[in-house]
Structure 1
Amino acid sequence: MTKDQKRAFTRIFFDAETIVSQGNNDCIVQLVDISLRGILIEMLPEQKLAGNTPVEVCIHLGGDLQICMTASIANTRDNRVGLACDFIDVESMTHLRRLVELNTGDTALLERELHLLT
């Protein structure tokens, strides 16, 4: 994926309880933004992730609704970590799609971004 394609996905600034897990290491982190392609999180200085190991992400939306995905570390800068979505189940993708749609208000934009994922 080229740099232009990475930026083609609308980022939604969103605050929700987010837990990242890697092996036996579970961290509650600050969700900065989310897109159809992945998320940006902010971690505390003492929290660490290994760069070559997949990360499980669970974003709690309220009630029993959540977005869960398997991701890989795409980039790091200071305490911020960009995670690229490698796998997301159908139910989580449905919640993510609805979140993006509600926050952009543009169904055509959403459809273009979904097309880029294929």
Structure 2
Amino acid sequence: MIFSNEAQFMASSGDFSCKILDLSLNGALLTLPEGYVPLKNDPASLNFYLPGSDIKITMEVEVRHVEEGHLGVHCRQIDLDSVTHLKRLIELNLADEDILYRELEQLTHEED
């Protein structure tokens, strides 16, 4: 799901602000956080609030790829409440349920 939301990316090297550009239950495409030096398979946490609510989503992720100012992360773990809210958000924004389970490589970033 094309998504634009501020997020916190917490890696072993520090906490960074970023923007989520695309999102699925399997991972996310982020703007590359300023000052973060990515390492493939680097574990991190991704936290964000659902738009217009106080519902916080927390995903345990790992870095999968970096290119052109974007960071692709794979979701390794997500708590039940977060996955329930995230799945509902994605379902409300999509006509095709199969898109929920896209692999990370299928996440896209469309230029404005």
**Counterpart position of 1:66:** 56
SS of corresponding position for 1:15: strand
Number of corresponding residues: 101
SS of corresponding position for 1:63: coil
- One-letter amino acid of the structure 1 residue matched with residue 46 of structure 2: V
Distance in 1 separating the partners of 2:5 and 2:81: 18
**Conservation of the 8 A alpha-carbon contact between 2:16 and 2:34:** no
> What is the 5 A alignment of 1:1-118?
12-23=1-12, 25-61=14-50, 62-106=52-96, 109-110=97-98, 113=101
**Conservation of the 8 A alpha-carbon contact between 1:70 and 1:88:** yes
Runs of 4+ deviating beyond 3 Å: 110-114
The TM-score with structure 2 as length reference comes to 0.78
**Conservation of the 8 A alpha-carbon contact between 1:22 and 1:49:** no
The TM-score with structure 1 as length reference comes to 0.74
Identical amino acids, percent of aligned pairs: 29
Measure how far apart 1:112 and its partner are: 7.9
| Structure number with bigger Rg | 1
Which has a greater percent of helix? 1
Instruction: Give me the CA root mean square deviation.
Output: 2.3
- One-letter amino acid of the structure 2 residue matched with residue 85 of structure 1: C
Higher RCO, 1 vs 2 (CA within 8 Å, ≥6 residues apart): 2
**Conservation of the 8 A alpha-carbon contact between 2:16 and 2:33:** no
Q: Which moved more, 1:56-65 or 1:45-54?
A: 45-54
**Conservation of the 8 A alpha-carbon contact between 1:101 and 1:110:** no
